[in-house]
């Protein structure tokens, strides 16, 4: 039995999460039966990590439907869960229809974003007696508030991210390319226990850093005055997401320092605005105002940040259109940036926990410019 599976079963309270879902179904006046098809949501509620399956949640039962490849895995990951395995020659949809008919379910909410039109049409044609009700965001809304075990997992992921960066920084030479640094980042975070990168690292030297999502290429870092690195580890299924900009020489231009100091001031202003009851759009505006006052308003081209957890991008978003009220237990990134074509870009990103009386910056890597010099 894989140790990670054992740890997951001990680490997270799946019974409490399922109880919260049932309570949410009742208070939101949705059908009492929910079909969960989003793989991340299935893991959140059960710990099952397979790539195929449905989870049927009813008022008094939770049933996982999957295929024979996962018979042993389900026993390891979800030993107390009711499980239905596909019969030989049976499709997963056919299994679902069989289970629904046996349970005499007449109303079923389903996760609309993860059910295709073809799947919906098939279910509707095979289950004329079942009223199918589209649902969206129910479990995701619960996932926004992290419990203590989730926060601990995110902290561990951040520590791996930071240790990885410190090793990579110590090994930097001018001959390294963006692509080589990206490869080294992924290798090192796996050495420290991460299962993978939760996104392809962004490594951008010089003018390439003007692209917020630059793809690492063959550019040598020693040929340019700045290097932007955005990287994230997946550890115990939870993500971290950090960005730092390094100066590759101690000869820092006035322009570089102005852009960098503006971004840092914007980030600190946004972090200072984070507390329970704060509105996401107001936090975004706190950073945007600092950058606009410095004359770079049009060069901050993306939202301020996003929630982080089982997925590297989840709710709540910190952007102008997001009127969500922040609550204790939310974990968000704060990552303002300035991007100047043909020159480069600066983005500084940390992971922030909303606490009952304010917030906590979970990441500890230095970010004052003079502490971010690597002479290569």
pTM: 0.93
The DSSP code for 279 is B
pLDDT of residue 1: 32
- Count CA atoms within 13 Å of residue 223 on its CB side: 11
Q: What is the pLDDT of residue 30?
A: 87
Show me where the domains of the chain are located: 3-143, 148-371
Q: Do domains 3-143 and 148-371 have the same CATH topology?
A: no
CATH architecture for residues 3-143: 3-Layer(aba) Sandwich (3.40)
> Which architecture does CATH list for 148-371?
Alpha-Beta Complex (3.90)
Strand pairing class (238-239; 202-205): unpaired
Give me the pLDDT at residue 28, please: 85
For 97-163, give the DSSP string.
HHHHHHTT--EEEEEGGGS-HHHHHHHHHH-TTSEEEEE-SHHHHHHTS--HHHHHHHHHHHHHHHH
Distance between CA atoms of residues 41 and 47, nearest Å: 9
Give the pLDDT confidence score for residue 298 in this predicted structure: 97
pLDDT given at position 355: 98
Each residue's pLDDT expressed in tens, for the chain with a length of 376 residues: 333 333 444 679 999 999 999 999 998 888 899 999 999 999 999 999 999 999 999 999 999 999 999 999 999 999 989 999 999 989 999 999 999 999 999 999 999 999 999 999 999 999 999 999 999 999 999 999 999 999 999 999 999 999 999 999 999 999 999 999 999 999 999 999 999 999 999 999 999 999 999 999 999 999 999 999 999 999 999 999 999 999 999 999 999 999 999 999 999 999 999 999 999 999 999 999 999 999 999 999 999 999 999 999 999 999 999 999 999 999 999 999 999 999 999 999 999 999 999 999 999 999 999 999 999 8
- Report the alpha-carbon angle 42-32-237, nearest 5: 15
Ordered DSSP codes for 40-58: HHHHHHH----SS-EEEEE
Give the angle subtended at the CA of 332 by the CAs of 329 and 333, to the nearest 5°.
155
Distances, alpha carbon 156 to alpha carbons 46, 149, 162, 246, in Å:
21, 11, 10, 24
Q: Cα separation of 328 and 226, whole Å? A: 36
3-class DSSP assignment, residue 204? strand
Task: Report the pLDDT value the prediction gives residue 10, as an integer from 0 to 100.
Answer: 61
Non-local CB neighbours of 91 within 8 Å, separated by 6+ positions: none
SS3 331: strand
Write down the pLDDT at residue 87: 93
Residue 89, sorted as left (phi over 0), alpha (psi -120 to 50) or beta, turns out to be: left
Q: What's the confidence (pLDDT) of residue 8?
A: 46
């Amino acid at each position: 039995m894989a140790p990670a599976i054992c740890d997951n079963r001990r680490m997270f309270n799946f019974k409490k999460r399922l109880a919260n879902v049932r309570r949410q179904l009742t208070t939101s006046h949705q059908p009492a039966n929910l079909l969960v098809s989003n793989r991340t949501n299935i893991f959140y509620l059960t710990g099952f990590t397979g790539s195929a399956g449905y989870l049927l949640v009813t008022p008094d039962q939770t049933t996982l439907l999957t295929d024979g490849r996962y018979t042993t895995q389900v026993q390891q990951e979800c030993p107390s869960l009711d499980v239905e395995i596909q019969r030989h020659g049976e499709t997963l949809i056919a299994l679902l229809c069989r289970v629904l008919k046996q349970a005499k379910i007449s109303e079923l909410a389903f996760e609309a974003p993860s059910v295709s039109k073809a799947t919906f049409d098939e279910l509707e044609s095979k289950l004329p007696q079942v009223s199918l009700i589209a649902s969206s965001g129910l479990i995701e809304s619960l996932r926004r508030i992290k419990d203590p075990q989730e926060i601990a997992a995110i902290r561990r992921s951040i520590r791996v991210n930071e240790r990885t960066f410190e090793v990579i920084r110590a090994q930097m030479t001018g001959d390294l390319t963006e692509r080589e640094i990206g490869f080294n980042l992924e290798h090192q975070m796996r050495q420290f226990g991460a299962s993978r990168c939760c996104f392809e690292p962004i490594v951008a030297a010089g003018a390439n850093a003007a692209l917020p999502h630059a793809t690492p290429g063959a550019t040598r870092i020693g040929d340019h005055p700045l290097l932007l690195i955005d990287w994230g580890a997946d550890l115990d299924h939870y993500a971290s997401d950090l960005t730092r900009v390094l100066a590759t020489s101690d000869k820092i231009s006035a322009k570089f320092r102005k852009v960098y100091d503006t971004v840092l001031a914007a980030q600190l202003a946004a972090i200072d605005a984070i507390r329970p009851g704060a509105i996401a759009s107001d936090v975004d505006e706190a950073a945007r105002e600092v950058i606009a006052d410095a004359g770079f308003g049009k060069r901050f081209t993306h939202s301020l940040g996003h929630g982080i957890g089982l997925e590297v991008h989840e709710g709540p978003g910190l952007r102008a259109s997001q009127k969500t009220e922040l609550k204790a237990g939310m974990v968000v990134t704060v990552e303002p940036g300035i991007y100047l074509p043909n020159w480069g870009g600066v983005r500084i990103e940390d992971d922030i926990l909303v606490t009952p009386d304010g917030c906590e910056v979970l990441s500890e890597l230095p970010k004052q410019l003079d502490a971010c010099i690597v002479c290569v």
